[in-house]
A and B are shown apart, each in its own frame.
Chain A
Amino acid sequence: MKKNDFSSLSRFLAVFVSLAFFGFSLAIAASPPPEMDSWLKQAKLGPYDTTQENWEEIVKKATEEGEVVVYSSSGRIQSLVKQFSKVYPGIKLTVHDLGSTKSVEKTKREQAAGIYNADVVTTGNSGQVIHEMLNKNLLVNYVPHHFKDRIPEAYREPLLVRVNEAVVFFYNSEKYPGSAPVTNIWEFTEPKFKGVVGMKDPMSSGSTLMAVMTLIQYPDEMAAAYKRYKGEDIKLSAGVPDAGYEFWARMLKNDLVIFKSGSKLAAASGKKGQNKPLIGFTNMTYIARNESKGFVNAIVKDLDPVSKLLYPTFTAIARQAPHPNAAKVFTAFSLGSPGLNKNSKLSKPYTKGESLDLLLGLAPYFDEGTRSPRNDVPSPMGGEIWDEMKAWDVDADFMWKEGAKIRDFWIQHSSM
């Protein structure tokens, strides 16, 4: 690199900048006209989803379409490819396991670029999914008609919930035999748990972010729980607005260990034979790893003020999906077979044989930490714990309004 390269480069830059800025000023603020309406009409979706559905005809059309592309926040859908092709030969299921953040991101970016690649998008993070995707016509809500009366309205409006899951605290039952090491959530902020609690990075994990936000949404209850624990009112740190935020500020100060991967976190708390296993603030569904990987995780079942933070995973048809009928078929498939009911005999492993034929898309999610939105699905083995735990859920509007503030708070307080 010679010195004069730079001076001549800068001269060139100057010319280029002035030209380009002129170009930019012309290019700003042009948005494409929506061709969405004719697609909706064609696919009988949204406002055109009024007449009685002819399911056989939909399956027939779907087979003609031949393919369905799914953007998913969950990798477990991948394991359904074989079963899907068994039930619907002729429709190829392609799953993109993107994680929650990237499912949203990829859909948004592609549609902004005029690329309509996805048929079904199934992901969490209510604030973004409802406000940034559904309300901006990136997604269309679709509920298979034959499931409408089996799913409570809250789980199908404004957007269909594929599964409900929760974030809970895991502890190592070998290290803490008998019972959970805590009964009040504020105990985790004590020196005893310094560097002991681990969680996924809420900046890259949608479900964890929702759990963080859920506690922030209930500041009064958090403050009351503190008083029950300490017998005195909570003193907020400088610049912290309420007890919800205060909890996370103290957690971060107490050397919270951040993970990128839920699998690693489940191992960190649940692997046998550890001297210092972590407490994992993580997705309840990982409890299934006890069986598949021989972990010894246990769930903190009775925690004051709350032991289970709910988060829904939605499923919706993407705008201008190239295979709308196949997308409908997959949506129905992911809710389980219509023949499934409270009396169905299901046995482990759920992902094989007759159980799989009944559960279909629910099979890989049929565990203690996950619930179908349908009211006619039996409880999985050990699933009673789900109903016994006190739960909070987070409001999509709250997430949307408070989201930026919470992210900033996190960035500021997690910096060491």
Chain B
Amino acid sequence: MTSNSFLSEERSPIFSRSNLTYFLYKLVNRPHLILGAICLFVLSFLVLTPLLEIIRDSLSIQSYDIAYLPDAKIGEFSLFHFERVFTGPLSKALLINPLLNSIAIGICVTLIGVSIGTVFAWLIVRTNIRFKGFFGALAVVPYMMPSWVLALAWLSLFKNDRIGGAEGMFTYFFGIQPPNWISYGFFPIVICLSLHYYAYGYLLMSGALASVDSELEDAGAICGMNRRQRMWRITVPLLLPALGSAIVLTFIRILGTFGTPALLGLPVRFYTFSTQIYASLNASNNGDAYVLALVLIVTAITCIWINNRVLGVRKSFVTLTGKGFRSREIDLGTWRWIATIGVGLFLSATVFLPLVILLWESLIIVPGEYSLSNITLEYWIGDGSIDVVYGEPGVFQSDNILSSLWNSIRLGLSAAVFNGIIGLLVGYAVVRGRGTHLSKWLEGIAFAPYIFPSIAFGAIYIGMFSTSWGPVPALYGTFTILVLITIVKNLPFTSRTGIAAMLQIDNSIEETARVQGIGWFKRMVRIVIPLSFSGLVSGMLLTFITAMRELSLIILLISPSNMVLTGLLFNYNEQDMAQHAGAVTLLLTFIIISGSIIARMISGGFGLSALKNS
């Protein structure tokens, strides 16, 4: 039905019998049209309706507003929220200060994170630094942990007496109270986020660096360029598009991040855009929250637009050709060991140190007392009967934790599977339909969720699915809504991997099969899926990791009935149960890492090799 209406819109047919027969014939032979239309329809519903919904809500009177405007009618058009946020006396507190804070954090973190990521990518991909494989694997570990794990570790290390209670490790061991600016607010937020997001920059840049052909640099050398010229006139321009997207994508993600600023900002009343949205929604002042969310979305779109304007033209360097390709390692000489030690130290500080701190936190009886005699396993295996743990059973005994763990795993797996399938279908429809409007629209809409900062996206979904929406029932408080939002939010990545995987499969392979009369479904199962399998698995793995460690996206949507580990972790931290928080974090990290190892093994074992065997 959808495909028909789509076709009638697209080609404006005359409904004669021969025309209809022709269209049916065409449809059967172009399944990507049907697929594309269905995908477009569903995705529009999931991505655009929420956006329209918050635009509408931000422009009309909400029930909370009656407290301000007793005479207004709920639902009637009003600029009340926009006036409040942009011009009212609250503007500074609601909009300006948090926005400036968020932008300052975004710029600093992007600069630091992308720089570190790029240097690492260059060292690991292009030089003869030692332990490449090990470093490469370690460098992505911070990305697998929830971004605010570092914030938790930071608090354990550097908390001072401003928030009283148990001492931080630094104070315990050195007897000095760190100043406030080290313990809370802008500085630690920037450091913690940078140490998380450099991994993101590393991932993006190492991919780009790996595809730069050393022969291009050699060609430069032959033409008489010196090292610096080759660097600035060949390598850097080739990397600029990737660098541009790394910067923009990192920046947007940081604007929407919630956990770290919430943990480290509150004690000094340092508010960011995301914490302000959270606070407004908490006070059920949806109007404010939605206007703020729209501001974030507009900021994100502007960043992408600028990026496309500035770097867009240069985007089409073809670096992957069918011809010879070499990637030569640069000899670092005496710098080799210095670089190795430097990278090694940095990675241990960002990967192992937080985990060790949290492990320690999970073992101590009296918080703030870091001596060896103060160690117990009660928080891991205890049944909660002794007084040490205030009646809360240890990690492996607590139904609460185990059921949240199960929910997290279910969420990760189901999001990964759905995302894999949708990514594949979107990729297929986009690539096979190249050149049509449908293909372009689909590609655009699949990328659109990226521009919604996580916290804003959660805000939209909580509003949208609180009531039933046509045939879609109210999903508030259900597990389904977590899966749904995770799928949609990850779509930009999985559809990218789907498109990339599909681009590698030449249409002629499928055409050969078609000539032999093999149907579409069989072609998908026997040809397309096996050929794109390893790409698919990496897309699914990414979804699994993101889904397991996500907080900003779902913090507004979780409730006890659909609690996941990250939410529980946040609660434990709020309730001052540092031991449980540490233990659950370690558990979560362990599962994510083992999950990704298993996924790597699977994608190595099947895919192309499986095809060869059959």
Which residues of A are at the interface with B, using a C-beta cutoff of 8 A?
1-6, 8-9, 12-13, 16-17, 20-21, 24, 28-29, 75, 79, 96-98, 101-102, 105-106, 108-110, 112-115, 117, 195, 198, 201, 203-204, 239, 257-261, 263-264, 267-269, 271, 274-278, 292-293, 400-401, 403-404, 407-408, 411-412, 414-416
Contact = CB atoms under 8 A, between A and B. Distances in A.
Contact of A96 (B44, B64, B448, B561): B561
Contacts of A79: 391
A261 B575 contact: yes
A414 B444 CA distance: 41
A180 to B, nearest CB: 17
Contact of B477 (A6, A110, A268, A274): A110
B576 A201 contact: no
Contact of A416 (B166, B269, B282): B269
A98 B268 CA distance: 26
Interface of B: 44, 48-49, 52, 56, 64, 67-68, 75, 89-90, 92-94, 97, 161-166, 245, 262, 266-271, 279, 282-285, 304-305, 308, 312, 315, 367-368, 387, 390-391, 437, 440-441, 443-445, 447-448, 462, 466-468, 474, 476-477, 559-561, 574-577
Contact of A261 (B283, B467, B561, B574): B574
Contact of A276 (B52, B164, B269, B282): B164
A74 to B, nearest CB: 12
B574 A260 contact: yes
B87 to A, nearest CB: 14
Contacts of B44: 12, 16
In the A-B complex, the 5 residue pairs with the smallest Cβ-Cβ separation, listed nearest first, are A268-B164, A113-B474, A9-B444, A415-B93, A404-B67
15 contacts: A1-B447, A3-B315, A5-B447, A9-B441, A13-B48, A96-B561, A115-B477, A117-B477, A203-B279, A258-B267, A268-B165, A292-B387, A401-B67, A407-B283, A415-B92
B92, B368, B462, B576 interface centre (most CB from chain A within 10 Å): B576
Contacts of B305: 6
Contacts of A21: 52, 56
A105 B97 contact: no
A198 B445 contact: no
A24 B56 contact: yes
B52 A416 contact: no
B162 A257 contact: yes
Nearest to B478: A115
A273 B97 CA distance: 37
Contacts, number: 167
Contacts of A414: 93, 269
Given A112-B467, A113-B474, A415-B97, A28 B75 contact: yes
A365 to B, nearest CB: 16
Contacts of B312: 2-3
A415 B91 CA distance: 11
Nearest to B89: A412
B270 A416 contact: yes
Contacts of A28: 75
Contacts of B445: 9, 12
Contacts of B443: 2, 5
Contacts of B368: 271
A16 B47 CA distance: 11
A196 B432 CA distance: 66
Interface of B is mostly: helix
Contacts of B161: 274-276
Contacts of A4: 440
B111 to A, nearest CB: 22
A125 to B, nearest CB: 11
A112 B466 contact: yes
Given A17-B52, A268-B165, A278-B163, 20 more contacts: A2-B443, A3-B315, A5-B440, A6-B304, A6-B305, A12-B441, A20-B48, A20-B49, A75-B575, A102-B559, A112-B466, A113-B468, A115-B474, A198-B163, A260-B262, A263-B576, A263-B577, A276-B164, A414-B269, A415-B92
B474 A114 contact: yes
A292 B68 contact: no
A227 B407 CA distance: 58
A274 B97 contact: no
Contacts of A264: 163, 165, 574, 576
A6 B271 CA distance: 32
B466 A198 contact: no
B421 to A, nearest CB: 22
B444 A271 contact: no
B576 A261 contact: yes
Nearest to A260: B574
Nearest to A1: B447
A118 B48 CA distance: 32
Nearest to B307: A1
Contacts of A9: 440-441, 444-445, 448
Given A8-B437, A110-B477, A414-B269, A198 B67 contact: no
A19 to B, nearest CB: 10
Nearest to A400: B67
A271 B89 CA distance: 40
Nearest to A271: B165
A347 B440 CA distance: 74
B208 to A, nearest CB: 15
Nearest to B315: A2
A172 B279 CA distance: 30
A251 to B, nearest CB: 12
Contact of A20 (B52, B444, B447): B52
A29 B75 contact: yes
A365 B266 CA distance: 30
B440 A415 contact: no
Contacts of B268: 416
Contacts of A3: 308, 312, 315
A110 B282 contact: no
B67, B285, B315, B443 interface centre (most CB from chain A within 10 Å): B67
A62 B282 CA distance: 34
Given A101-B282, A113-B466, A114-B468, A1 B440 contact: no
B520 to A, nearest CB: 26
B559 A98 contact: yes
Contact of A411 (B56, B94, B387, B440): B94
A21 B48 CA distance: 12
A275 B171 CA distance: 12
Contacts of B279: 203-204, 411
A403 B67 CA distance: 8
B37 to A, nearest CB: 13
A6 B474 contact: no
Contacts of A105: 284
Nearest to B284: A105
Nearest to A95: B560
B48 A115 contact: no
Contacts of B49: 20
Contacts of B391: 79
A6 B305 CA distance: 9
A203 B283 contact: yes
A6 B444 contact: yes
A271 B167 CA distance: 10
Contact of B266 (A114, A258, A293): A258
A83 B443 CA distance: 57
A115 B473 CA distance: 10
Nearest to A415: B93
Contacts of A415: 92-93, 97, 269, 271
A23 to B, nearest CB: 9
A126 to B, nearest CB: 15
Given A12-B444, A412-B93, A415-B92, A292 B390 contact: yes
A254 to B, nearest CB: 12
A112 B166 CA distance: 43
B52 A24 contact: yes
Given A264-B165, A412-B89, A415-B271, A8 B440 contact: yes
Contact of B93 (A96, A204, A411): A411
Nearest to B492: A1
